[in-house]
Structure 1
């Protein structure tokens, strides 16, 4: 019993995309606490386990009101950074450290949290607000350029919502389906000894290539107790098995799996294009005589006015976020090109079964790769084979 308590949820349990230390003994919030609290409040039944309002406690836990100080301090820190160049360097350098410290101080015990998703959406909205109120009145941006930036933001949010609809959870009925599929060849039907059995075997050989037929072995999850398909994995943050699990992304508060991997990649591409285009418009307005490549490093006279200094500081802030997401996009593209997921790359590094390629940017397992072209064709044409029981409108957050 002691060994079972110390045993991790799963040996191949993937870390999230920032390798954060999340509490494994928490529980996911699917609004059950909020619904139960609302029912008790409507019926007038007090909660015997709590001395305060259960409805208020559930709403506080769901809405994460502790995010409010971070959302208030972000624009204040950016305004302080706009006062002087030295303050800007110090503030932008210390800002990631302050964000991570505040996260560990307030949200590290939550398995699923809206901290990073709320912070990213708020930053996106605040940058757009400054673009409309500070850059647009200068007259250096045309209406077509404003419509392009606005369309990019809307497309990013729509793609994010589509990504949040579910990564493709393994259904609990997958075990029964797998057993039925395994029992069909063993039935005593006369058709199995004749042409029917040969046609079925031929179709299976056509669907599965020789490398995949060897690797296509279903496994039982030690946590969910379900029969899961190949390349599926258990996410300790969401508490469910996900088809073709890549990683749990804290920036979207969801797993990235077979059902939403393409939309996740699309969200990164659209956001990066919109961010780079918006930064270029801001720098062209603030430093019209400088090249775009040098305007971010040298822009004379930008600190003569507070409004231009604030926009220049926000351009630097957006550039830092863009560089981080660009690195994530490069890793995703390389993994797709080698047909390997982030979870499989971590397992290969742990078991020392993979080969590092491209200066360690990607780990080639050689198990599913069939060439650059075929790998991308498989990624773009893969389909979700199950309906997620957790995918609903409430999971959009």
Structure 2
């Protein structure tokens, strides 16, 4: 390895709490948010004159506004994401509206999932990064727990042990959600190489096929797989991806054993957090089902839980009972969606297949009728049910990769 020495650059002055670097790479201040509004003036002028806007002008204006909306933060102002706000407003309003009448409840319970799915496909198609879904998940969990404490517990019938069980379930769900978002298994330089100033990790994949003298076993293994290394070369991260790794276009980095990008946690699911992701789903489902049973037992004490969810006479006579019944329906819809997600992931793990690999198989075999057939055919890493689960439960969560996988071009 050759080391290239460069003249050290003088350190820049650190940012204060109200300063930030804008999208053009220039240093700016929050007090100057209304300065240099040429694009806004042109857009308003064209709107007042009745003229059509230029192509891409509105998107550029929205990007500038989002870039200037900042919150004071130590060592630089942070960008305020407006996608966090809609769930905080829409969810309480729609749930209280659904509690007014049974027909309104039916319309809201149908319209709310449709609205969320429409926004999901709209942002997923543009590969956009949004906090809307994470905000919806966290606020739904917190708001349902708040209504449980203020509407269900005062009615009686909920003992201290049951209250503690629900509370522990909520706390552990948030705890494992935090672990899931910590690191999906991002690929980066080897720690030993980051101590040098600039290090040449080797030739690019196009030049790495010629044999060299004094090769280590790791380098020989790399040379043996040089053909696959050419196809696994990531132009963005400038590294050769290990087997089953992938580059996330939304997050902007490569992840070991990339499963998929989950909008509900606003992060990727990879080798380092896949187990925590499944555990978070399982804890949420158990807590949700137990909470729904307690709510329905309090609202409709004389009926079975499944029957009470479909038919509960007199529940709309009081706004409080109607709100609890509506929230139980909302939680049931969310629980059904997450249960489907958990079942798909458990099936994928059983065949040692990631969601990304199943989608690639689906694109290659569009004429396949059976979805499970697509998953089993794409399971080239499958070693049997028990060995697949053993490998999944014992796989390392380390994000370090050997230095010979890194082929940084200098």
Contact residue 279 and residue 319 of structure 1 kept, 8 A: yes
Match of 2:94 among 77, 80, 102: 77
CA contact (8 A) 2:278 2:342 kept: yes
Greater shift, 342-351 or 307-316, is seen at 342-351
Distance 2:32 2:302 in 1: 69
Which 5+ residue runs of structure 2 have no aligned equivalent?
1-17, 41-63, 72-77, 194-198, 402-410
Question: Deviation per CA, 1:45-91, whole angstroms, max 9, x where unpaired?
Answer: 99986679999824278332354344212211111111111111111
- 2:70 matched to which residue of 1? 59
CA RMSD of aligned residues (A): 4.0
Q: Which structure has the larger Rg over C-alpha atoms?
A: 2
Q: What is the TM-score with the length of structure 2 in the denominator?
A: 0.71
- 8 Å contact 1:245–1:341 — kept in the other structure? yes
Partner of 2:296: 283
Q: Deviations over 1:136-177 (max 9, x none)?
A: 001110011111101111101110111111111121459976
Call closer, same or farther: CA 1:47–1:378 in 2, change over 3 Å: farther
Cα shift at 1:220 = 1.0
Q: Give secondary structure in 2 for the equivalent of 1:168.
A: coil
The answer on whether the counterparts of 2:83 and 2:130 sit within 8 Å (CA) in structure 1 is no
Describe the shift of the 1:329–1:214 C-alpha distance in structure 2 as closer, same or farther (beyond 3 A). farther
In 2, Cα distance between equivalents of 1:380 and 1:354: 34
Structure 2 counterparts to residues 191-340 of structure 1, below 5 A: 217-218=228-229, 219-340=232-353
What are structure 1's unaligned runs of at least 5 residues?
1-32, 205-212, 389-397
Query: Does residue 181 of structure 2 align to residue 164 of structure 1?
Result: yes
What CA distance in whole angstroms lies between the structure 2 residues aligned with 1:58 and 1:172?
A: 33
Match among 112, 119, 133 for residue 116 of structure 1: 133
CA distance in 1, matches of 2:152, 2:281: 25
SS in 1 for 2:399: coil
Q: In 2, distance between residues paired with 1:50 and 1:157?
A: 42
Q: CA deviation at 1:284?
A: 1.0
TM-score using structure 1 length: 0.73
- 1:233-286: CA deviation from partner (whole Å, max 9, x where unpaired): 111111111110000000000000111111111110111111011001111111
Offset of 1:329 from its aligned partner? Answer: 0.3
Aligned-partner Cα distance in 1 for 2:254–2:262: 15
Contact persistence 1:167–1:254 (CA under 8 A):
yes
1:36 aligns with 2:21: yes
In 2: Cα distance, 1:154 partner to 1:362 partner:
34
Structure 1 residues 379 and 357, CA gap change in structure 2 (3 angstroms) = farther
- Cα distance in 1 for partners of 2:225, 2:211 equals 21
SS in 1 for 2:247: strand
- Asked if 1:140 corresponds to 2:157, the answer is yes
Decide whether the 8 Å contact of 2:83 with 2:131 is kept in 1.
Answer: no
- Point out which structure has higher relative CO (alpha carbons under 8 A, 6+ apart): 1
